[in-house]
Structure 1
């Protein structure tokens, strides 16, 4: 009984894996749903398979980036596709290129881990 109590208390200490995982996974449900819907819309294959794979991808991304980083990096990556002056502002910003590159690398790694082509 004492051994079980000690293990439970250790799991609640700051810096323990249970607490660290909770703090590292700060993506709101809405952000996950938006990603999965967009991903599934663009992916090929059976509907349920797309949902599973896209859910896997956003979970893998959430393990590598905080939500704030995800918002910044994905915004930068998406802005490169905008034509005209608004897109040019981001393309001219050197930090935007770096953020977009990091996002694309994390996303590619997550897609590969989740068996998405």
Structure 2
């Protein structure tokens, strides 16, 4: 698993930039890699190319993500063969299993930090 104590997605005006810090876990900190990580990167899609690469990473890699330079992310394709030669388009957490291993699925869970106010009429 990979857990971050600080996780923030900025506004539309900032292209939904991802800001993360405080890694804890046993899967490796792929989001903070200085070249391929996602920290402080705007979100890119095939029709909104906001990454630093001259290529359209989201189009090439078949999914939107906080790309820096067309690394790999969790919004890729599910490849039936984890060692598929098109692994660059797969779901990859490179600090865990390396660049060519694609995952079957990934789950991102986000919760508010600290106690939450009670809503009237709920228990």
Shorter-normalised TM-score: what interval?
A: under 0.3
User: TM-score, normalising length from structure 1?
Assistant: 0.27
Structure possessing the higher relative contact order (Cα contacts under 8 Å, 6 or more residues apart): 1
Indicate the structure with greater strand content: 2
Indicate the structure with greater helix content: 1
User: TM-score, normalising length from structure 2?
Assistant: 0.26
Higher gyration radius (CA): 1
